[in-house]
Structures are given as C-alpha cells and as structure tokens.
C-alpha cells in the first residue's frame, strides 16, 4: 500500500455518509457511493467508512466481497467489460476473454501489469441483439469478433 | 408460557412456543442430523442437512430454524428425506479433502460422524478440494481453509458471542472463505485468540496450535528439569476426552498421569490463584479505601480479555488490575522461589502449563513482563491445552481414568477452594471477596459462598453490604457482554459521577474457563453446567476455603515475597499494559 497515495474523502462523500449514518441498509448505499467515486473500494476508505458508520471492518469486507457490484482492487486506467449473459456467451464471449488474455496477458477480474487495462466478465448488460457485446470505459461495442480486438484496443493503448 | 402441541412422526410432544422442530424432535427421541446448527447460536440454516417434512406436504423445511407449530405432524425420516440429506452430504464431501487420517478432529468430527452414520461409501460428485495455505500466524490457533465446510459457526461465535469480528464470510459462492477482512492474517486482525471458533467448528478447519511435540522433546532432554502446572478448569473437563461424564473431578489422576509422562515436578496453577487473590485483594482494598478515583478495579487473569482491552478498551488501562494471571504468577515463582529453594539453576527449568485456553499460548510471549524471572527467557515455556494433554496421555497408552490418584508436589501446589472456582464465571470475584471482606471486616466469614456471583447470566451485578459499606460488583463472561458494563463505567467517568461498580470480573469465554477454547470439544450449556458443578464440588470438599488460609501461600510470603504488593511481588507478579491497534496495519 506504500506507493498508493492516501485517498482523501470528498466533502460530498463525507456528507453522504453522515446523512446515511442512522438509516437502515446504509452500508450498501455508502459502499455504492464509494465505488462510484473511486471506481473501487480502497482499504483506507473502508477503514474510514467503518469508523464513521461504527460498523466492524469485517462486516464491510463481507458485504463488499459478496456483491458483484463492488471491487476491492484499483481498476486499470481503461475498463473493459465483456458481457457474459446467455446470448453473448453463446455467441462467443468466452473467446473474447481468451483473446484479450492473449493480447493483454490479462484474465477476467484482473488488470494488466502496466495498469492500462482491467478486464471483467459481467452479467447481461441488456444489449442481447448486439451479442457478443463488450464495453470499453462504458462505450458499447456490438457484434465483436476476436480478430477486431487489436483494432478496438489500439486507441486506448496509445492514449496516455 | 404458551405451549405448542405437535406430532413428531406421530408421537405427541408438547413444547414451549418458539421451540424449533429440531428440539421438539429430541423429546420424541429423534436426533435430526445437523451441521451448521449449534445450540449456543441463533440458527441461520446454512447447510440444509436437517430437512424434515410436514405430513401431507412435499415441501422440505429446515428443522433447526423452523419453530414447531400447533397441531402439525412432522415427518423426520423417510426415503426421500434420507436421499436429500445424503445428497447434501455428498456435495459437502465433494469439496472436502479426504485426509481424515491426519486430521486433528479425526474421531470427533461432526462431518465424519454423519458421513459414517449415513454409510457413505462412494463420492458421486466431481472432487473439488483445492490445496490452500493455512493461516498459522498466531501462536494460538490454526485456520485450515481446505477443511472448512462454510457452516459459519466460527464467524457467528466470533461476532455474536465474542463481539470481536475477527472472522467474516469473505467472498461469495464456492469461493467463500471464513477469514479476517482486508486480506490480513489472524495475527494482524482483531482476533483475541480465545479459541471459541475452534471449540465450535464442527470439523478440523480451526484448531489449537499443537505443541505436544515440543513437550515430548523437552521431557526427553536429560538436561532439562521439566515442571508442569495445571489450571483449575482442566480437572473437570479432561475426562470428556476419555468418555467420562463432564464435571468429573480427575485432579489426582491428572497428577499421576503427568508423573508417568515424565514431568519432574507437578504443581498446580490453583496455588497461584490463591496468590493472585492475595495480590489482587490487597490491590482492591487499597483502591477501595484509599484511592477511590482508581475504581473500578477490573480483573486481568484472562489473556483474551487483556488482548481485547488493549485493543478495544484501552481507555480503561488505569482501571486494570496490575496482577498477572495465575499461570504467569506460578511461572515466575517456579523459576525464582522454587529454583532457589531446591538449588536448581533456573535456566535448566522448562516450565509447561496445561490450560483450558488457546489464548494462554499467546499470553506467555505477549510482552516483556512475561519474562520476569531470569533475563529474557519466558517465565512459562510452553502452554498445552486440555485437548493436547489428553492426546499425550492417550499416545503414551496410559489407562487414565483408572489411575490411582496421586498428590500434588508441595511448595507451589496446595490450594484453597477459592482457587479452584477461578475456573468458572464469578469465581475470581467470589474468591477475592472471601479474602477482601475478611480483611476489611477483621472477622471470619460466617458463610464463604457468595451466591450473587454464580450463574450463567452474561452480566451479573450485585450490591454487597460489608459492615455497612456498600460494594458494587459486576461480572461479565462471553466477550460480547462486557461492553454494556464498560459503557456504564465510561458514562460515569465522563459525567464525573460515582462509578457504578467497584470491582469488575471479566472472562472471555461463556461460563468462564470451564468453557474455554482449549477444552474438549462439544461444549454446550448443558456440558458447561456439569463442569461448573464439578468446580463447585471441588471447592466444597476442600478443607481450606479461603486463599489467605493456604499455608503454602503464607509460607511463600514469609520466606520469599514479603508482603502482598511488596516490591518483590511487583517485580514478579505484576505487569503493565500497552495500547494495541485493532488491526495491525
Ligand atoms: S480466537 Fe476468538 S477472537 Fe479469534 S477468531 Fe476465534 S473466536 Fe474470533
Ligand atoms: S472454519 Fe469451521 S466453523 Fe468456520 S465455517 Fe468453516 S467449518 Fe464452519
Ligand atoms: S475465559 Fe479462561 S479459557 Fe477463556 S480465554 Fe479467558 S482465560 Fe482463556
Ligand atoms: S443444521 Fe439446519 S440448516 Fe444446517
């Protein structure tokens, strides 16, 4: 953790936690907000949330590791998500993940050594007509063929 | 109390409203199989092996978590239920390694027993039991995730009974692991090493760190003088490992077995419990009469509680008794007083303690005060739990239960009844009161028993009238129960009002050390009650009931320590505390 900068909590986040402090179900809401703000749930932030909500750290990790929505690791600069819904799966989503691993040396749920990409297999994102579907930084690409991947990735590989 | 009448396989039973089908079935002599359920814990129905049906309905319900309802007829066994239960079992076995032969729980594993009862001879599902690293970071307990069946008992014990939150379900589905948060090992987690998780785990996934080999090696070394001491709670529980009724007092047999195992000197921690009373009683009387601002005095003989306090309640360090635990007092006395008396070089003494407790393994190296007798060397070299001693006795082939009883060695072995009750919740308080009240009133007690300190309520409080002076006491056991008491004390401090309690006793384990994390497995309140009765029996049959009447304790002060709380006593028998972070990171 030494090389990671300490994550300051934004005023908005602090206000949000204070507002939700006494409400039931607050932990999930707060973790959502943290995930939204940082893209993941960092250890230091979890400790801070634990202190503010007076919830044991173990409970926070229990929830954060139970739901798909939350990630505990800092994602890569560019986030690739491959839809693993039934339609996409049948149309070769696994091939796409395999190909991404070949090109980037990065499996689903991991990030590349240079922190440029993280790859995730996600649940159906609701574009079944375009199967197989993947997104890069939220932008949707449909009918993706494995040969197209190098071209799709190229602009992000160069962008600094 | 509202009652419910129902049928279990056609047999009429009447139970209190809210009783589970599982417990109702027991009245009809039916034991529905269970894995995740434990009577100490609120059922959460995780495993699904306890399924039963209602007559006329195909639906399966979990007997452990469903209350019996008026007028129902529950079916607890038929071909379909057996098939379902077998499938549940086979699925658990598919994820479980097959190395029972070398497992610490072989022979008393709940999963092994059920698999045996069900006559499982094949494993139809694909085996998925990956090798995983053990967490051996603490000196007290080992976590072996390979063996974990994810029943969740450990996390629920750790959170709901102990209030520690060291363990939690981390991850989801088949990747779930029971472990500390934030990827830390137990040693860096809030864990207080009480071992209650190990006492509740149905399988061999959490267990005491086995150190019997070290003991055997020391016993085989002709250059070492190996001395042993035994805690109060061991004597009423070890029999269970040999099929004897809980609560049977086997003190004489244990002394005899220890001699046969080759220990050169057999002492008893109970001697030091009497010593603790002299020291702590004096400390209490001093604070109560001359330093009221230092009240309440809080007991410090439970190392899991000390660890908890140093992490979660270190604002109250000034209120802690500076007394070491009886084990550590005995340890310090062995390498000083005893060595001196016998003309033995203390460096050649190897000091072993038999404890009902896994936290004691941690305690002996927990800070520099634990090395007070000779330089840097620990006062106590090794702690074995009751379970480990039982294994050593079995390994040596000793017919334990039928051994002729033997006596303890003199000097650091004799004890009063007050010492033996250290093993139960309220016992330290009662023992301290026997001496403190005698000293404060200057009169012999008409009756040595203090009933208010006894019983299984998580928090017990009482107002005592000591010759017109009010003494307020509180006793907590089961770590989660202490916070309410501490908060009352904190509140009074904040408001500058009089402390609600003068003297507080805390033991981390439910029932006190008789329910310790190193005791034979299978403790329930029923077993705890029997062990407790054994302890009070031991006290009642003692000729000497009060610590200050113990002649060996009197001699130790006269010949060696001087007065209670003397300079020498402080050096050897007292300690300091430090603040520790909840997470070491
Ligand atoms: S030893 Fe006690 S505190 Fe540590 S994990 Fe087990 S139950 Fe929790
Ligand atoms: S470690 Fe033991 S008690 Fe904890 S979940 Fe696994 S099997 Fe159950
Ligand atoms: S109550 Fe006794 S057995 Fe339990 S942790 Fe404390 S000293 Fe050990
Ligand atoms: S024992 Fe009832 S569900 Fe596990």
**pLDDT at residue A4 tops 60:** no
Please report whether residue B247 resides in a domain: yes
Query: For residue A159, what pLDDT band results from cuts at 50, 70 and 90?
Result: low
Which chain B residue shows the shortest CA-CA distance from A70? B171
Query: Within 13 Å and on the Cβ side, how many CA atoms surround A6?
Result: 4
* B389 and B248 within one domain: yes
pLDDT band at A2 (very low <50, low <70, confident <90, very high): very low
Counting the structural domains of chain B, the total is 3
Q: What gap in Å lies between CA B6 and CA B10, rounded to an integer?
A: 9
Same domain, B135 and B26: no
Residue nearest to ligand 4 atom 3, measured at CA: B45
Q: Give me the helix-helix angle, A26-38 and A57-66, nearest 10°.
A: 70
Q: What's this model's pTM, rounded to 2 decimal places? A: 0.89
Which pLDDT score is estimated for A6? 52
B434 belongs to a structural domain: no
Domain containing B366: what range? 212-270+328-402
Confirm whether B105 is domain-assigned: yes
Q: Which residues pair with B460 in a beta bridge?
A: B475
- Tell how strand A134-136 and strand B11-16 pair up: unpaired
Q: Are residues B203 and B333 in the same domain?
A: no
Give B473-499 pLDDT, tens digit per residue: 999 999 999 999 999 999 999 999 999
Domain end (from B77, B111, B136): B77
pLDDT digits over A98-119, tens only?
Answer: 998 998 888 887 888 888 888 8
What integer pLDDT is reported at residue A158 of this predicted model?
Answer: 66
* Residue B51 CB partners (closer than 8 Å, separation 6+): B60, B61, B62, B63, B81, B84, B85, B88
Token code pair at residue B252: 């004489």
Q: Give A8's contacts (C-beta < 8 A, 6+ positions apart).
A: none
Under the banding of pLDDT at 50, 70 and 90, the label for residue A5 is: very low
Q: How far is A154 from chain B, CA to nearest CA, in Å?
A: 34
* Low-confidence stretches of chain B (pLDDT beneath 70): 585
- Is the CB of residue B485 less than 8 Å from the CB of residue B504? yes
Which of B166, B168, B182 has its CB closest to that of A43?
Answer: B182
Please check whether residues B247 and B380 belong to one and the same domain.
yes
B9, B78 Cβ separation under 8 angstroms: no
**Alpha helices (H) in B28-118, listed in sequence order:** 79-94, 110-117
Looking at the structure, do residues B221 and B266 belong to the same domain, yes or no?
yes
Contact between chains at A66 and B159 (C-beta distance less than 8 A): no
Same domain, B346 and B393: yes
B174 and B242 housed in the same domain? no
- The answer to the question of residue B574 being in a domain is no
pLDDT for the residue numbered A138: 82
Residue B515: inside a domain, yes or no? no
- Chain B residues with CB-CB distance to A66 below 8 A: 169, 171-172
Asked whether residue B243 falls in the same domain as residue B191, the answer is no
Which of residues 37 through 56 in chain A touch B, CB cutoff 8 A? 43, 46-47, 56
Judge if B182 and B42 occupy the same domain.
Answer: no
Counting ligands in written order, the one closest to the CA of B42 is 4
How do residues B550-567 score in pLDDT, each as one tens digit? Answer: 999 999 999 999 999 999
Judge whether B532 lies within some domain: no
Sequence-distant (6+) residues with CB within 8 A of B119 are: none
**pLDDT tens digits along A18-72:** 888 777 778 888 888 888 888 788 888 888 888 888 889 999 999 888 887 788 8
- Return the number of other C-beta atoms located less than 10 Å from residue A55's C-beta: 17
Are residue B240 and residue B334 in the same domain, yes or no?
yes
The pLDDT of A123-129, averaged and rounded, is 82
- B62 lies in the same domain as B8: yes
* pLDDT at position A106: 86
The answer to whether position B319 is within a domain reads no
Domain finish residue from B208, B239, B255:
B208
pLDDT band at A7 (very low <50, low <70, confident <90, very high): low
Q: What is the pLDDT of residue A3?
A: 38
B476 pocket-lining for ligand 2 (C-beta < 6 Å):
no
Query: Which residue in chain A is spatially nearest to B176 when comparing CA positions?
Result: A66
Residue B348 lies inside a defined structural domain of this protein? yes
CB contact under 8 A, A60 and B181: yes
Closest C-alpha to B355, from B519, B559, B524, B488 = B519
B233 and B250 fall within a common domain: yes
């Amino acid at each position: 953790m030494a090389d990671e900068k300490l994550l300051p909590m934004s005023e908005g986040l602090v206000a949000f936690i204070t507002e939700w402090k006494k409400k039931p179900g607050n932990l999930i809401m707060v973790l959502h907000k943290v995930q939204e703000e940082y893209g993941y749930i960092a250890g230091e932030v979890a400790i801070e949330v634990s202190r503010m909500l007076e919830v044991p750290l173990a409970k926070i990790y229990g929830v954060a590791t139970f739901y798909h929505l939350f990630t505990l690791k800092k994602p890569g600069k560019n986030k690739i998500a491959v839809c693993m819904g039934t339609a996409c799966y049948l149309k070769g989503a696994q091939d796409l993940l395999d190909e991404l691993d070949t090109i980037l040396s990065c499996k689903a749920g991991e990030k590349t050594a240079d922190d440029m990409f993280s790859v995730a297999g996600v649940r159906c994102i609701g574009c079944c007509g375009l199967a197989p579907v993947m997104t890069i930084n939220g932008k949707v690409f449909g009918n993706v063929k494995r040969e197209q991947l190098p071209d799709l990735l190229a602009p992000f590989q160069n962008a600094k | 109390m509202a009652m419910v009448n129902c049928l279990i396989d056609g047999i009429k039973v009447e139970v209190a409203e809210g009783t589970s089908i599982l417990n109702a079935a027991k009245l009809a002599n039916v034991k529905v199989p269970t894995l995740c359920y434990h009577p100490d814990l609120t059922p959460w129905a995780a495993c699904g092996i306890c399924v039963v049906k209602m007559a006329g309905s195909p639906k399966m319900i979990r007997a452990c978590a469903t209350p019996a309802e008026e007028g129902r007829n529950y079916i607890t066994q038929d071909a379909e239920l057996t098939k379902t239960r077998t499938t549940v079992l086979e699925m658990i076995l598919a994820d479980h390694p097959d190395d029972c032969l070398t497992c610490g729980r072989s022979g008393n594993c709940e999963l092994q027993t059920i698999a045996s009862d069900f006559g499982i001879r094949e494993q139809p599902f694909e085996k998925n039991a990956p090798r995983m690293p053990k967490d051996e970071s603490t000196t007290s307990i080992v976590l072996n995730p390979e063996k974990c069946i994810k029943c969740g008992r450990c996390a629920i014990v750790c959170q709901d009974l102990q209030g520690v939150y060291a363990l939690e379900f981390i991850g989801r589905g088949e990747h779930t692991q029971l472990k500390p948060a934030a990827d830390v090992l137990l040693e860096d987690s809030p864990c207080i090493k009480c071992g209650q998780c190990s006492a509740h785990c149905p399988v061999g996934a959490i267990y005491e760190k086995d150190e019997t080999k070290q003991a055997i090696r020391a016993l085989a070394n002709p250059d070492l003088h190996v001395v042993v001491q035994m805690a109060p709670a061991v004597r009423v529980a070890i029999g269970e490992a040999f099929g004897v009724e809980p609560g049977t007092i086997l003190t004489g047999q244990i002394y005899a077995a220890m001699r046969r195992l080759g220990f050169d000197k057999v002492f008893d921690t109970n001697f030091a419990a009497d010593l603790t009373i002299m020291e702590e009683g004096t400390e209490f009387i001093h604070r109560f009469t001359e330093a009221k601002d230092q009240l309440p005095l809080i007991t410090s003989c439970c190392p899991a509680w000390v660890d908890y306090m140093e992490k979660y309640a270190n604002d109250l360090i000034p209120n802690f008794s500076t007394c070491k635990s009886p084990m550590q007092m005995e340890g310090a006395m062995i390498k000083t007083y005893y060595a001196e008396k016998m003309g033995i070089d203390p460096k050649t003494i190897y000091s072993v303690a038999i404890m009902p407790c896994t936290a004691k393994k941690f305690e002996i190296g927990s800070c520099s005060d634990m090395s007070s007798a000779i330089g840097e060397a620990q006062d106590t070299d090794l702690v074995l739990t009751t379970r480990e001693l039982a294994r050593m006795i079995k390994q040596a082939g000793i017919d334990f239960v039928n051994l002729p009883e033997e006596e303890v060695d003199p000097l650091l072995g004799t004890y009063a009844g007050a010492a033996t009750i250290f093993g139960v919740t309220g016992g330290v308080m009662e023992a301290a009161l026997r001496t403190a009240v005698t000293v404060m009133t200057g009169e012999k007690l008409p009756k040595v028993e203090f009933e208010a300190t006894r019983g299984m309520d998580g928090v017990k409080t009482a107002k005592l009238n000591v010759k017109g002076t009010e003494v307020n006491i509180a006793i907590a056991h089961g770590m989660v129960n202490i916070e309410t008491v501490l908060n009352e004390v904190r509140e009074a401090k904040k408001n500058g009002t009089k402390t609600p309690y003068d003297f507080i006793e805390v033991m981390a384990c439910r029932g006190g050390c008789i329910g310790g994390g190193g005791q034979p497995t299978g403790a329930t309140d029923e077993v705890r009650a029997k062990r407790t009765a054994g302890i009070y029996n031991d006290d009642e049959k003692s000729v000497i009931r009060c610590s200050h009447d113990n002649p060996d304790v009197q001699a130790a002060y006269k010949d060696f320590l001087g007065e209670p709380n003397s300079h020498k006593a402080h050096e050897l028998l007292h300690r300091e505390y430090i603040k520790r972070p909840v997470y070491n990171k």
